[in-house]
Structure 1
Amino acid sequence: MQLLTIGINHHTAPVALRERVAFPLEAIEPALGGLRTLWAGRASLGAPEAAILSTCNRTELYCATDDRAPREAAIEWLAGYHGMDAAELAPHVYALPQSEAARHAFRVASGLDSMVLGETQILGQMKSAVRAASDAGALGTYLNQLFQRTFAVAKEVRATTAVGAQSVSMAAAAVRLAQRIFDTISNQRVLFIGAGEMIELCATHFAAQSPRELVVANRTAERGAKLAERFRGHSIPLSELPARMHEFDIIVSCTASTLPIIGLGAMERAVKARRRRPIFIVDLAVPRDIEPEVAKLPDVFLYTVDDLGAIVREGNASRQAAVAEAEAIIETRVQQFMQWLDARSVVPVIRHMHTQADALRRAELERAHKMLARGDDPAAVLEAMSLSLTNKLIHGPTHALNRASSDDRATLVELLGGVYRHAKPSEH
């Protein structure tokens, strides 16, 4: 079984491409079913294992398979699933086998591969991805072990290093950008579209600036109202957005919608109604909630999740010592995982040896029973059975020694010598 991670992220692909290969959480389980069905026809040793991690910064497939060309197969499947040409996707894809896959998983969960260094949200997203894979029946021995170790490493990194200390979050970066547009946020009306974890974080940061008004628009009215109440704001239904967008100076959107929430036409009308007053928009969703063409409108300042990256990275340099500590922890844990993986590679051989030895034992036992049934001397039967079983068990090694070349024979002699030196008769 080969371990492999393939994917694209904010390092290798722009948001325009990442949003095209994103998976809503509810789509992961059926998608995994299709992927495993495809690979099952190509595999020879058993059903492949797979998990999909999809966030605003990355879409990744974690796989354990004996497919001889897993990278090509995975890229073709990912592109085909999203109706893309594999040639368009391939230049942006990274493929990480074995220890590289483990190292990557450990770094991702620890927040070292995030746009926000040390951020904690990715760990929860990875756990959700693992639960989805488990519900789909797509996890097995290899990926289960990988992810359990991944979560343990993330916990160790966060407990023993300062990687996440004083990190600049996306929410904080959004506030900083808004402060560049407006003298003070306390005079502005702020609209949040969505009610998930990211919007909650943004609302916390903006509420700290005491905006003039704070409003939440969400598909589920009850959840939107509950979030707005926490920050002494109020909620509106999504259906009111086109008619009321012009009222807001700051809009922050992050939903799980697969289609834009705000289109160019609606924003053109809002800009006209605002009479050249600037409007600041942060789109943290992937796929994007705001049509990209909106950025071309006068007096509109639209920023995507990628645009916030530069501000976030400003605070990363001061934490490089903590990063080095985290990388050292991860490297040690990668080596331990690879030792486990290497040990697993001999399991099929050992299982085959047991099966073959048991077949020989059963055949000799059956022959002995027949000899006893016809009245042969029990001592003679036991002697004959032991001799025959011994000859059959050493036939393979003897045959290999006789047919081996001189170089191979020397190696076999050393190996078999070690094996039989440790094979002592039982004292019972």
Structure 2
Amino acid sequence: MILTERELIGIRRELHQIPEIGMEEFETQKKLISIIKSMNSKWLDFKTWKTATIVHLKGIDETYTIGYRTDIDGLPVTEETGLPFSSKNEGRMHACGHDIHMTVALGILSFFAEKQPGVNMTFIFQPAEENASGGKQLYESGALDHWMPDEIYAFHDNPGLKTGVIGCRQGTLFAGTCEIHATFTGKSGHAAFPHNANDMVVAGSYFVTQIQSIVSRNVDPIQSGVVTLGHFSAGTTGNVIAGKAQIDGTIRALTQEMNLLIQKRVRKIAESVAEAFECEVDLDLHQGGYYPVENNYETTKEFINYMSNTKDVVFEETKPAMTGEDFGFLLSKIPGTMFWLGVDSPYSLHSEYLAPKEGAIIKGVNAMTGYLKTRMKDISKNRENDSL
């Protein structure tokens, strides 16, 4: 049975009440599996890996596979929306809209579980997008190997777009991110005898100020990059020279090449400061699977063409965003496209007040089922022509 809009909204509200942190989505997985089993399709199969659920639909043409990915985790945020279906898990909330993501995926899945797809489909209900590079973990586990997609799609809800609007662009949609964790270790001492100490407040401050030159002097002005240091901790009181400084921040860049360049400059600056101040530095640059979300040209061309020319779809070409998403890792391995789905909220992603408009759900389902049907026909036609 194809899930109705009413049923989908009910599912979304149930999922919204049980948000869980990455790799702990046990209740969420249980709920998803119960819905998937109820579809009772003879061409549907599924398996699990940790808290991930992978669903495979056997297509009429079994020589090609389209993938669809949704993330399933919540955030450590205390909900303040006041909704009657607010989170029941204290200190946890679907503040990034992954409940909307899952619900749209289930709607698409229910359609093709009822009407056999033209090619194989693999639906990936992926854990730990927010905190542990779940996409990278899943891919590298080998759990996808037997049902590996030839191309793949995903979306993220967007509070800044009107309800149901589809947003996309060629090239990079989201930036790649990399965490910065730097610890400078020198020698503490009495404030009256600085010559007997090695002050890490000063060393750390030099690191902070030198970092500011990376974007202004190393990044091509027509490209984009951000280096933000949001945490600096050193010392215990005003009359003791600090022997240690901890500095944490983030790198954002629209290409992996630029991200690696910025990482290289951060490392060089850290090492140079340590040498100049005769101290030690422990630098951890952690990117994990948070690569830039770089859309594939061919799949994105087909996607934009369909969405731009379909009567019931409102499409907008969007600008790249400096937010991060671990779907970038999957796109580095599998050609595909990520897009935005408008949910029209005055509150941003990760806000404790975020309340996406539920009217976006059925619009997202209809837009994607329509596109995927068209895409499958084109794939089959092209493969027939290639065999002639």
TM-score if structure 1 supplies the norm length?
Answer: 0.22
Higher relative contact order (CA 8 A, sep 6+): 2
TM-score if structure 2 supplies the norm length?
Answer: 0.24
